[in-house]
Chain A
């Protein structure tokens, strides 16, 4: 409450002060009353009715207040000449007088205006030397000269200097010509200025700064004014503004301010360098072909060894200009000035220009590709187990090249045919030779009947196919096989155009196990069984149109599926599932549909001479071995060209084969090795077969340029048999 009161008072004082200045000193009460009214009304804005002087007691209080204010250093000077106020103005009067007291010149009110405060002479602020020659300075109101003070002579000056103790502080006022004695305060000011300090000695520029609005949180407010009521009431105006903003945001008129990216903005001055620019042509500048530098032969005075002899000159003249080693003849001159004009100059320049013009300017791009990147990633052989790795059993007994082997369908027995005219039957597990058959000719091909209900082996000796019952395995089976063969009765009308003769074996041959002989006109190269075990096909490469014959065992009937030969037939194969026959000639494999009697497919073998062929048990993939040491894998769904060609052998391939159960295939070669490869065929048609060579099996010695001649997988185990020219059959497990 007290502070409010003071603010009101200050306003009041100001009003009164103006009043004093403007109004003549002898004011009447009425005016005063008016002023009081106005002051009251003004005050009511701030403090309401409280300030209205209602009682004398309050006046007294205010007096006390004003006397308290006197502590600030102001003194009450009641003897100031001026209008005195009556009691009605009271406290207001006293406070105004305090202010007036601070004025430097108390007799200010002698003058009408305040802008002539410094009136020491009447001439004004003009250069005083103008009055140097006059005894006066200016004129008074009456028009009389205002005389300068009497100026003593030198002596007076000197005496004054000696006598007057204040001489040192007396200065002459130029404007009036009077001597002025400086007070102590003025001397202090001069001294302070001379020292370069603040003129007023008491002024302290380094007063402690009172930081009202500090960053530190104060426990007391700066002002103790209680909060207004309106600060507790939500502002309608603000609400209106906010709702306007919200509406604008909803309508999308106001968008959130974009986050300022404070990152400094640079730009790449080389940004456009990658785009085409005319400069680029110069960067990839290809220099013009250089001329050969002139040598000694072009000198006008060449060393004697460069000078052509008579014969050389003659030869040069006779040679075609294109054949000459150099276009000119070196000649010797005594001096440079004797050298004539060069006749071929224009022609040479022209040719040079042609060179420059026609020279191909092209940069050869060299691709940087490492060889490893071109090789597809294959799994490691270790992860593709099982496959045969080590030699386990050697079947010894033959005395000549073992040309062919075949494994019994259950895997207990193995049959091998050799050039020593023997057919040997081996026990797989022990390597024991159980049976030997002397066949009287080189055994070129042998095949065990794939049907487990019969026990038969077909062997090829020269031009004869011999069907043998080895009497191995199940007693019931081989007895029933014999019964089956014995029950054959020749049909009455046997019409055959083919020069093939079936004959049943008798006597000693029968005891040995030979059951049938089928003699052919030409040398037979291969015999192969159909999966059912009733039909078998033979290949006679020299047979012309009869190169392939298909025999039926139960009916002892032969047929020739092809009317004319399409080339030198190398081998044939039956499809394991479907009625297809694969016929491999030297460079092609033809697939015939036996039911429809038509050619279904012709596979380009992509090699010079096919030697062997094997079909995947699934029937859709085929491998071909060739004498030019290649193995080609055909995916017959994919293409008629090889899906992959492997060249792991150094010499001709003799045999290729698939495993019936494991994803393995193998190839035997004349270099004495058998290469086992992992060949996974996926049932998913989108996935191509995975072919990884996993193992090279060495063991067969190369004799007479022949190495491994045949290889067959064991039907159930991941084992492989191989036969070789070193008279052995080997089992790798």
Chain B
């Protein structure tokens, strides 16, 4: 570490107990980078182990809550830190790169995906909804929609099958009963009410309701429970009875939330009673679904394409047509709601998804043909770029904790494995 130039007093600590080092203060060159710090930490760990085991591990370093990507002094300058005081540097095992798993070729563009346990649900522009295993085996293909499917969502999944929803440009939302063994999907309910293409779905956390957003500027709330008989009896009559029967009994919306000035492109539940919706009218609105009234309006400068909420970090991530992923803090009482802006994409951000297990990680898909894994502590550069796609990406999902799924105009459902260190770490300790 001997080098000329200014030095900085640094103290290292970690929240991962197996890598604990002494709290000595080190003097490191001001221009030190992650690479040299890795050497230092590895040297410390190896010397303290003393068992001759020289396994090198890669660490990342957090200074003032942000990942060290530049040389230390420029990072500190950006943070407004002085070199006079001792810098506390947290280090943690570097997130391993997601590895591509399977690429499931489909017939047409994939507009939406959602994973659940060991299955992946995908909606396609060829009007079908399909269920795949993680390995890429097609379990079922549900046909019934007459126009491209724009959104899909799992309602529940069991060993023998499950239920899922699909929304399409034919203005319908269909609840399907999926029988795994039989390999069939039967429409159970047909939700009518939207006037134009239904673009997004969000299942209520208790799975008894769901919300949908449509191009007709409406957000509608639907019930998933068993319908009352009288409602069903009312509807099927006249000439269209046969057609209705194809997609099951008709369901009408519980509630319509009106307020957006343009198409609603994405909906997400924040908690049991709060829904949030993003629209092309440059706003994200939150709604109180108990009272059916709008609560808050977050105004951006460009049309929003995607929104996602994380229960772990309590942040709202939005993807918009100005190439940025913005994180909004709904709880903050300050005027500025944008917590931070993640900038690296070159095109529209079409989808964002939070990690279900790690509060810092999210994934974003963009029309620039890349999927990016972000850590909120590193807003200027993503952790990993998953490029190599030949066409723009339309959807991304992270419902299965260890699987990133994305799909798009290249007609391939791509999955990437993700190993969360927070969850995998205890396993390793147990194994040891």
Please report the C-alpha to C-alpha distance between residue A393 and residue B321 in the assembled complex, in whole angstroms: 11
Report if B409 contacts A (CB, 8 A).
yes
In the complex, how many angstroms separate the beta carbon of A389 from the nearest chain B beta carbon?
9
Q: How far is the CA of A410 from the CA of B263 in the complex (A)?
A: 9
B170 x A475 contact (CB < 8 A) = yes
The closest CB in chain A to the CB of B194 belongs to: A474
Asked whether, in the complex, the Cβ of A412 is within 8 Å of the Cβ of B196, the reply is: yes
Taking the complex as formed, is A600 at the interface, i.e. its CB lies under 8 A from any CB of chain B? Answer: no
Residues of A close to B348: CB separation below 8 A: 392-393, 733
CB-based contact B367/A392 at 8 Å: yes
With an 8 A cutoff between CB atoms, is A716 at the interface? yes
Kindly state whether residue B219 has any CB partner on chain A within 8 Å. no
Q: Indicate if the CB atoms of A432 and B195 lie closer than 8 Å.
A: no
B residues near A432, Cβ cutoff 8 Å: 109, 125, 148, 409
Q: Are A717's CB and B409's CB within 8 A?
A: no
Contacts of A409 in B (CB 8 A): none
- Known contacts A393-B367, A432-B409; is-contact A733 B216 (Cβ 8 Å): no
Mark interface residues in A132-148 (1 if CB within 8 Å of B CB, else 0).
00000000000000000
Does residue A397 face the partner (Cβ distance < 8 Å to B)? no
Q: Is the CB of A392 within 8 A of B347?
A: yes
A617 at the interface (CB under 8 A from B): no
CB contact under 8 A between A412 and B409, given known A392-B347, A430-B394:
no
The contact size tier of chain B is 20 to 34
- A720 vs chain B, min Cβ distance (A): 13
A473 at the interface (CB under 8 A from B): yes
Q: Nearest chain-A residue to B323 (Cβ)?
A: A390
CB-CB contacts of B302-340 with A at 8 A, as 1s and 0s?
110100000000000000011100000000000000000
Cβ-closest chain B residue relative to A475: B171
CB–CB B215/A412 < 8 A: yes
CA–CA, A658 to B95, complex, Å?
Answer: 50
In the complex, residue of chain B having the shortest beta-carbon distance to the beta carbon of A716: B262
CB-based contact A392/B321 at 8 Å: yes
The answer to whether A716 and B280 touch (CB under 8 A), given A392-B347, A392-B367, A431-B409, is yes
B301 at the interface (CB under 8 A from A): yes
Q: Are A476 and B195 in contact (CB under 8 A)?
A: yes
For A430, the chain B residues whose CB sits under 8 A away are 109, 111, 392, 394, 409
B128 proximal to A (CB < 8 A): no
* Most interface-central of B171, B195, B196, B392 (chain A CB within 10 A): B196
Report if B73 contacts A (CB, 8 A).
Answer: no
Known: A392-B321, A392-B348. Contact between A386 and B301, CB under 8 A?
Answer: yes
Among A393, A474, A733, the residue within 8 A (CB) of B195 is: A474
Residue of A nearest to B196 (CB): A474
Residue interface bits A590-601, CB-to-B below 8 A is 1, else 0: 000000000000
A473, B169: Cα distance in complex, Å: 8
Closest-CB distance, B311 to chain A (whole angstroms) = 28
Q: Which A-chain residue is minimally distant from B265 (CB atoms)? A: A429
Q: State which of A386, A392, A473, A717 has its C-beta within 8 Å of the C-beta of B196.
A: A473
Question: A355-395 vs B: 1/0 string, CB under 8 Å?
Answer: 00000000000000000000000000000011000101100
On whether A474 and B216 interact (CB within 8 A), knowing A392-B367, A431-B392, A716-B280, the answer reads yes
Cα–Cα distance between A385 and B321 once the two chains are bound (Å): 15
A431-B125 Cα distance, complex, nearest whole Å: 12
Chain A residues near B111 (CB, 8 Å)?
430
Nearest CB on A from B271, distance (A): 29
Apart from A432-B148, A716-B281, 14 more pairs, CB < 8 Å: A392-B348, A412-B263, A429-B305, A431-B392, A432-B109, A432-B125, A432-B409, A473-B196, A474-B195, A474-B216, A476-B195, A717-B262, A733-B302, A733-B322
Which residues of B are interface residues toward A (Cβ below 8 A)? 109, 111, 125, 148, 170-171, 195-197, 215-216, 262-263, 265, 280-281, 301-303, 305, 321-323, 347-348, 367, 392, 394, 409
7 contacts between A and B (CB under 8 A): A392-B348, A412-B197, A429-B265, A430-B394, A474-B171, A716-B262, A717-B280
